[in-house]
Structure 1
Amino acid sequence: MTIMRAQHEGILTPRGAAYEMRPNARNHARTLLVRTARTMHALPQRQGQQAMNEQDYEAAKWALLHAHLVQATPEQRHLYVARSNYGDNQRALAWLADQPDLDRATALMLFWSVGAGSHAQYESLDDVPDYDRDTHQFIGLVQQRFLGGFYADHGIGFDPTRWDGAGPNEHSADELQRMPAQMLQAVDGEHHIDPFDEAYDEDYDDGLPMALVEQLYELADVHIAWEEANPQA
């Protein structure tokens, strides 16, 4: 099912009420989109000046991604968590994890996708290798918020044992013995999303709408041109 069809049929609803972005979030999204539009409008000139250094590039890239996530539907956020590039999505995942309007099913998917199963072996933070401690603390934060009812219910269903991503099935009972039972169980919901359904492939890449992907490619081209013109930078 495509995003447009899902929105039209009203299937992403919090227990029957239409999903609606909070007014302050809508205003924030508009501000971000205006700023991003100005950035994109300036790109041809900046490309000619070869002025998009690493700092400019990262800031412009995040502005585009952040603006999308702020106004994204619960389904679009679910797709992003499932299909985004986990080598370059830490900032976006951290931002999503801080949002109380993130669907609890998406939060559970996020929990498993960042490696909760592997981290269940550690009894305390002292047991975690230094290079993995930030991830371990992030997993603990998502778990704490999930169990505490921090996340919203927009009617999305998710079973970590019945999807193509990381989940409990990849680990033994002994490995998962310290994990709370709720993190192993399905989130009930009327709307079950298969994020790897081929129906999404035409309109999405790495969990992002194609129009946004094209903008990100344009940014990358401008930055690459700057790097080539400034090899010593």
Structure 2
Amino acid sequence: MKEKISDEKFEEIVDNLILEYVKTVNPEIWHQMAMEWNWDSSSVFLNWLIDNPKTDKATALMIYWKSAPRYWKKFLDKDDLISKEKYGLADFEFVERVENNILKDFYQGNNFEFDPKNDEQNYDWTSDYADKITVRNIPDIMFEKFEGQKVEEPENFIEGMPPELYEMQDELYEKYDIE
């Protein structure tokens, strides 16, 4: 019989599983996970990545652009956001943290390639929300291509998870009855 637990508790268990897993793999796997990550799922992994100085600069830049930074530039600061919208503070702060970390050269790794104007699928992330009015500019460095090893899109990843991690998550679904 499955153990009954709350949805919140299950998410916490899955988050801990992911964090324990990523501590055992290299920054290239982190980069591949971020490439394919399901942005509707847990952000604990992405927050861990952007707060980790061992994350590659290209990985951080990719995360930045996949977070729609131009959308958040329509606000002067978090107080302006709070006065105008009832949601999005965590996303706003996330984008600001990545940008500030890149600007202050927080990330130690500089091994991988990422071009926000032409990613591995030839997508131009810098064009997202280009038609929107902004009150702050995205710093020039955020538009630059970070040179390095081209990281191939991962094979067999499911929602950003390598097969072995996805299987471990599936085992948790078998173990628990989520309420």
TM-score (norm 2): 0.85
Partner of 2:155: 201
Fraction of identical pairs, as percent: 22
Question: Which structure has the greater CA radius of gyration?
Answer: 1
2:172 to 196, 204, 219: 219
Q: Tell me by how many angstroms 1:188 deviates.
A: 1.5
After TM superposition, the structure 1 = structure 2 runs for residues 53-202 of structure 1, keeping only pairs within 5 Å, are 53-54=5-6, 56-128=9-81, 129-163=85-119, 164=121, 167-172=125-130, 175=133, 178-189=137-148, 191-195=149-153, 200-202=154-156
For 1:166-225, what per-residue CA distance to the aligned partner results, in whole angstroms no more than 9, with x for missing partners? 711224387566111011111111x01243xxxx333x22222212111111212332xx
Tell me the SS of whatever aligns to 1:137.
helix
CA distance in structure 2 between the partners assigned to 1:218 and 1:113 by the alignment:
30
Q: Tell me by how many angstroms 1:93 deviates.
A: 0.9
Residue 63 to residue 124, structure 1, CA distance change in 2 (3 Å): closer
After TM superposition, the structure 1 = structure 2 runs for residues 6-85 of structure 1, keeping only pairs within 5 Å, are 48=1, 50-54=2-6, 56-85=9-38
Moved more, 106-115 or 117-126: 117-126
Larger relative contact order (Cα-Cα within 8 Å, sequence gap ≥ 6) = 2
For 1:3-51, what per-residue CA distance to the aligned partner results, in whole angstroms no more than 9, with x for missing partners? xxxxxxxxxxxxxxxxxxxxxxxxxxxxxxxxxxxxxxxxxxxxx2x32
- The answer on whether the counterparts of 2:68 and 2:128 sit within 8 Å (CA) in structure 1 is no
Q: How many residues align?
A: 172
The structure richer in helix per residue is 1
Unmatched runs of 5 consecutive residues or more in structure 2: none
Residue 115 to residue 86, structure 1, CA distance change in 2 (3 Å): same
Q: Tell me by how many angstroms 1:69 deviates.
A: 1.2
1:51 is aligned with what amino acid? E
CA distance in structure 2 between the partners assigned to 1:120 and 1:167 by the alignment:
15
Q: Tell me by how many angstroms 1:60 deviates.
A: 2.7
CA distance in structure 2 between the partners assigned to 1:61 and 1:166 by the alignment:
32
For 1:68-99, what per-residue CA distance to the aligned partner results, in whole angstroms no more than 9, with x for missing partners? 11122111101111111111131111111111
Unmatched runs of 5 consecutive residues or more in structure 1: 1-47, 228-232
CA distance in structure 2 between the partners assigned to 1:183 and 1:122 by the alignment:
18
